Structure 1
């Protein structure tokens, strides 16, 4: 049997190392938490080669017997010394009343020390119980991850054998960057279609139907429109495109710009420069100033565009900013600006940070720099956010489009990865589906 230890940051990475090093026949015999990750002990059974006939070495055997005799002598001496020390201790405690009688005549001190001495074992036992509980919790978590990885690998293998057409569709959806949950829902709707091309076309049709777009362009409806989102998503550039688009069509008289970004250096000057170029009024809202009062002089404007500050979710100023946008006196339609270049976790964090102001939809920016649209489209579908605008370049206002759902799907297909995901990636994706018992893969 070959036994080897593997170190990794998490359980899935460790499992991949085991598969790469020992193969799929390896058995996991232990796991534990270590500094920086986990340690996995794996074993692989194999036939041991027959050892060659051993020639006796008389000199080595004689030296070995001499060493064993010395060890036995040393052990006997240690045992005898321990017995002598124990006898001395007994004599010392037996004569304790003669040596120190004042110790027995002080019951008050002994009673004070007794609770402290009794509390120490209790504290030690509680600490040991907590450590044991933490170790048990880690063991269960490790076993759960281990089972999920194994189930994911088994489920993916069974799907390839039983339903190769669906397995191919799974790969194509993963190349587009769609999440496992959304892919599962789409595949369930075409599970009865036998012809591969027709199944793919119907799947894309269902995907397009799931993407919501506004029937009327937000700028045409008018009112107060605020662009919200974290820093770096492209809010100010998108606002400039929207303002220029409106001015070119209707003129500068019925539109105004408002800036709530007093945190970023140069943000106010950037918006003032845009206002001078377009001949549009720009209002600055300082921290602590009421947004309702700032918008009161602009009541006659048909469209008011608000540029907000991109603040992290933990910043207290973000809560105040979102509360002012959500107030009834403002009546603003808030659109979350999402950069298509952002990772899935960043997009989810942005949504959860800004959803409290009430989102009317989203705007996809930096589409020209993106390598995939599946992540941002998956968030828009999952959170029921209509896609109001599509910003796909730096030109103002040319690179701002009013999207259609089938155009977004076509764009996502054109940006899909050239190569299929690896077998390990597909197995990990299926393992994620087992984190909730109600989900089924395939």
Structure 2
């Protein structure tokens, strides 16, 4: 038998080391948390020790049968006495010889329970360290089960439905999430021809991307750009303003800045206003947004530049409440950079959805290596894609999106290499976190 210890940052990496070193037949015989990660003990050709056989004890069994017989006879006699004389309950319970006539009085004794306040304090049943260790063990066990289920599901899919497995790989090269990929593949599960299945799958993907029927600038009103710092809100606002001025002139548009946190943000917007000959209003700290917008009521379009604040900043809550106010009637668009990671995009959505989002604007498409993450968020959260920004030029690098063009661009940016078997197994393992989820 070969036994080895493996150290890794998490359980999945440790399992990969076990598979690479000992193969798929290795058995996990121990896990524990260590500094910097987990320690996993695995063995090859490990035989589970048999449970020890309990040897019967005749004397103990005889005594046990006698005690059970005495208890049964005492209960029967007690029931008879209760039926015969219900008014003598106290005397019946006080008579120890009736309850257990053959047992010493010191063994069976009925005493009044002591008051709860006088009872000695019970020792702590659980220890926090023991609970933490138990949680870690359960978490590790769950990860082990998920990894095993994912590997099994991916292997079965490759053997039984190789065409579906190939489509899974292609969608992962595009960067789409497992849930969205599973939904798309369910719609083409009955298409036998591979090329037709791929074309239909892309058509379903394009249909899932929502775009506004009318360009937001054409509708007018109050438009606010929200989102974390670094997503390109101010640059996108400049592109929107320049696009409108070139088409309708500068007399019917105004700019409002709510960003009093970033150094130079107000000067940047004032410079843009001077170039476009557009009025710029700064919201004062003691002034409400409704008061700042009141002098601009006759403007056909008002663009609001907001501060990019982290989700745990109390000032963000105040800003979102101002935008969601009844007197403002703003259409808020979440600005998302296509270069951001999936977790960053999800955190941005959950932080800014409280103000009520009318859609999203995708920026930095020219720097992105994949569009699957940002498209997956827009589809999953039902956010219409209002505009695309793919460069620094104002306003040339701002476009009204077309869903089929977005899909074509996402396909052109797909990764050149196929995802590894371990990556696909991990992907399927994520689908097994809930018993209602199925893959393939």
TM-score by length of 2: 0.82
SS in 1 for 2:242: helix
Instruction: Tell me how far 1:19 sits from its aligned partner.
Output: 1.3
* 1:16-31 matches, cutoff 5 A: 16-31=16-31
Instruction: Tell me how far 1:32 sits from its aligned partner.
Output: 1.2
**Partners of 2:131 and 2:373 in 1: how far apart?**
38
Tell me the equivalent position of 1:85: none
SS in 2 for 1:201: helix
SS in 2 for 1:28: strand
**Partners of 1:321 and 1:129 in 2: how far apart?**
44
Instruction: Tell me how far 1:35 sits from its aligned partner.
Output: 2.1
**Partners of 1:375 and 1:307 in 2: how far apart?**
25
Tell me the equivalent position of 1:224: 222
Instruction: Tell me how far 1:135 sits from its aligned partner.
Output: 2.2
* 1:68-83 matches, cutoff 5 A: none
User: Which among 296, 304, 307 is matched to residue 306 of structure 1?
Assistant: 304
Tell me the equivalent position of 2:51: none
Tell me the equivalent position of 1:243: 241
SS in 2 for 1:327: coil
SS in 2 for 1:253: coil
**Partners of 1:305 and 1:291 in 2: how far apart?**
13
- 1:104-143 CA-to-partner distances (Å, cap 9, x unmatched) read xxxxxxxxxxx9xx76x82xx44x5433333222212111
Instruction: Tell me how far 1:315 sits from its aligned partner.
Output: 0.5
Tell me the equivalent position of 1:39: 39
Tell me the equivalent position of 1:210: 208
Tell me the equivalent position of 1:234: 232
**Partners of 1:338 and 1:435 in 2: how far apart?**
28
User: Which among 142, 147, 152 is matched to residue 150 of structure 2?
Assistant: 152
Tell me the equivalent position of 1:437: 435
Tell me the equivalent position of 1:316: 314
**Partners of 1:424 and 1:233 in 2: how far apart?**
32
Can you give the 5+ residue segments of structure 2 that lack an aligned partner in the other structure?
47-116
* 2:291 is aligned with 1:293: yes
**Partners of 2:184 and 2:286 in 1: how far apart?**
47
**Partners of 2:270 and 2:130 in 1: how far apart?**
63
Tell me the equivalent position of 2:338: 340
Tell me the equivalent position of 2:196: 198
* 1:45-84 matches, cutoff 5 A: 45=45
**Partners of 2:325 and 2:174 in 1: how far apart?**
39
- 1:163-222 CA-to-partner distances (Å, cap 9, x unmatched) read 000000000000000000000000000000000000000000000000000000000000
Tell me the equivalent position of 1:74: none
The range that moved more, 283-292 or 380-389, is 283-292
**Partners of 1:396 and 1:37 in 2: how far apart?**
48
**Partners of 1:24 and 1:160 in 2: how far apart?**
18
Instruction: Report the number of matched residues.
Output: 368
**Partners of 1:11 and 1:428 in 2: how far apart?**
12
Tell me the equivalent position of 2:104: none
SS in 2 for 1:368: coil
* 2:183 is aligned with 1:185: yes
Instruction: Tell me how far 1:317 sits from its aligned partner.
Output: 0.4
Instruction: Tell me how far 1:44 sits from its aligned partner.
Output: 1.5
Tell me the equivalent position of 1:252: 250
* 1:341-380 matches, cutoff 5 A: 341-380=339-378
Tell me the equivalent position of 1:4: 4
SS in 1 for 2:366: helix
**Partners of 2:192 and 2:400 in 1: how far apart?**
36
**Partners of 1:303 and 1:13 in 2: how far apart?**
53
Instruction: Tell me how far 1:288 sits from its aligned partner.
Output: 3.1
**Partners of 1:293 and 1:130 in 2: how far apart?**
54
Tell me the equivalent position of 1:78: none
- 1:17-68 CA-to-partner distances (Å, cap 9, x unmatched) read 111222222211111122222110011239xxxxxxxxxxxxxxxxxxxxxx
